[in-house]
Amino acid sequence: MSAHISTIAGVTVDTRHWIGGERVASAETFTDVSPIDGSTLGEIARGTATEAAAAVAAAKAAFPGWASTPRTERARLLHAVADGVEKRLEELSIVETSDNGALLRSHRRGVMPRVAHNFRFFADWLLKLEHEDFDTRGHTNSVSWDPAGPCVLITPWNAPLMLATWKIAPALAAGNTVVLKPAEWSPLTASLLADIAAEAGLPPGVFNVVQGYGSEIGDALTSHPDVRRISFTGSVPTARRIAVSAAANLTPLSLELGGKSPLLVFADADLDLAVDLAVEQYDNAGQVCLAATRILVEESLAQEFTRRFVAKAAALRQGDPREEATDIGPTIHPRQLDKIDGFVRRAIEAGARVVVGGHRGDGQYYTPTLLTDVTQDSEIVQEEVFGPVLTLQTFATEDEAIRLANNTRFGLAATVATGDHERAERVTAQLVAGTVWVNCFFVRDLQAPFGGSRHSGVGREGGTWSFDFYCDVKNTVTAPKGWKDHG
């Protein structure tokens, strides 16, 4: 077996970069380790500024041909990519679970089918993308979306392929070429996607994948003068660094960042539903940017809510994510585990009371945790933990609930549990969030805008909003006079 090939549960993955339609090795590698058991999954090509320059050059060279490809043909090729994803759905699911520790059952049933849907949705949206012409004093205004150029997409480790394809699909549909830099903790399915894209018939250089550390290859990508768009999902500190890097070239940015989202539970809510919504926040070991990690419960309901929450949380099974019965898998990396535990230890030292969990499990597992007796200005309430750690606070009035909900620097999402439709309208209108769910959670339609307010991000993804970002939107104004008769 080649040194550049890894085999995970019988699935072979090339660990080199994919640049200009070819596999490219680097002088050095980094080790990719499974969070499930600490086993080595592969030695991954460790890119530098050299590979970054090569990938951008390949994307730039391929751009004119791809941009001029008819919409119908681009859409056909994206559907072919979706076909390839569906054909290899089981392989992608197995590899992703091994690489990032998320549940195999979730990958099979929801995540990987959504990856295929991402490509199909934006392929179809491309074909109906239009703005009705309008008149200005007899002049005709025609709006069009022109491809911008090479795009750098930097994606996270918590849902690697799904979150990457939220960006890849609209960027390619718009007529741009792409350089993808996946997170170094979960790079493997990006490599498989490169194979799928090539098999689907995407021309060389249209889709490129480079791997490595942000400090070694990420900066070279985001500061490159030939890059026309940068889209990033991840942490606020990394976003600041990318923004500084992109500033010299005034490269437009789309940033989907962290969250500290609230779940507001009012006394008139369906209590069983509210508890289900709260426990659902442990999904993916709490490693979800949208997670409503701050549970805000009306005082009169708090005792019974807590009792039911504890009972339901106790029924969760934490263990090997490859097993069907498992509800919660491991955290992604020892550094993340240490970070989560540090947050909890400091919270306890500051006076927080542990209601559920509050400690490490075996290996890279952290027990689902609920903390109460926390203050609004405490670190555990204000900062993103990105692990299976929730806090519970109470409120007396609707106004207090809204004040507590909005009192962080984030504004990614919010969830409201109430049985009063008028209350729902009043509260949601005042919440600072890019997405608000009422009596539900994580219902996402790709035609809806998605993104955050405040430190949770810049810009919106989804539907036409994605094309607005990945294109130069042009308005052509045509006069009614001045035409020569060529008849």
* 245, 282 Cβ separation under 8 angstroms: no
Alpha-carbon gap, residue 292 to 278, rounded angstroms:
8
* 301, 271 Cβ separation under 8 angstroms: yes
Provide the pairing of β-strand 11-14 with 5-8: antiparallel
The catalytic residue among 256, 298, 384, 461 is: 256
C-alpha radius of gyration, the chain, whole number:
24
- Is residue 332 helix, strand or coil? coil
| CATH number given to 5-257+452-475 | 3.40.605.10
Q: Which pTM does this prediction carry?
A: 0.95
- 10-residue stretch averages of pLDDT, the chain, 487 residues long: 85 97 96 96 96 98 98 98 98 97 96 97 96 95 97 96 97 98 97 98 98 94 97 94 96 95 97 97 94 97 97 96 96 96 98 97 95 98 97 98 98 97 97 97 93 94 96 96 78
Amino acid in position 10: G
Alpha-carbon gap, residue 182 to 190, rounded angstroms:
7
What per-residue confidence (pLDDT) applies to 481?
87
What per-residue confidence (pLDDT) applies to 482?
81
220-263 per-position pLDDT tens digit: 999 999 999 999 999 999 999 999 999 999 999 999 999 999 99
Q: Where in the chain is the domain with CATH 3.40.605.10?
A: 5-257+452-475
What per-residue confidence (pLDDT) applies to 487?
61
What per-residue confidence (pLDDT) applies to 484?
85
* 215, 239 Cβ separation under 8 angstroms: no
What per-residue confidence (pLDDT) applies to 3?
80
Burial classification of residue 48, based on how many CB atoms lie within 10 Å of its CB (0-12 exposed, 13-18 middle, 19 or more buried): middle
Query: For residue 475, what are its two tokens?
Result: 């308005």
* Residue 472 parent element (H or E): strand 471-478
DSSP structural state of residue 140: E
| CATH number given to 262-438 | 3.40.309.10
What per-residue confidence (pLDDT) applies to 59?
98
- Is residue 447 helix, strand or coil? coil
The number of angstroms, rounded, from the C-alpha of 421 to the middle of its chain's C-alpha atoms is 31
349 an active-site residue?
A: no
256 an active-site residue?
A: yes
Residue 164 to residues 156, 183, 278, 338, Cα–Cα distance (Å) = 8, 10, 27, 26
Query: For residue 255, what are its two tokens?
Result: 């940033």
Mean pLDDT for the chain overall = 96
* 216, 192 Cβ separation under 8 angstroms: no
What per-residue confidence (pLDDT) applies to 486?
73
The catalytic residue among 289, 298, 384, 471 is: 289
Burial classification of residue 196, based on how many CB atoms lie within 10 Å of its CB (0-12 exposed, 13-18 middle, 19 or more buried): buried
Q: Where in the chain is the domain with CATH 3.40.309.10?
A: 262-438
Amino acid in position 178: V
Alpha-carbon gap, residue 260 to 94, rounded angstroms:
30
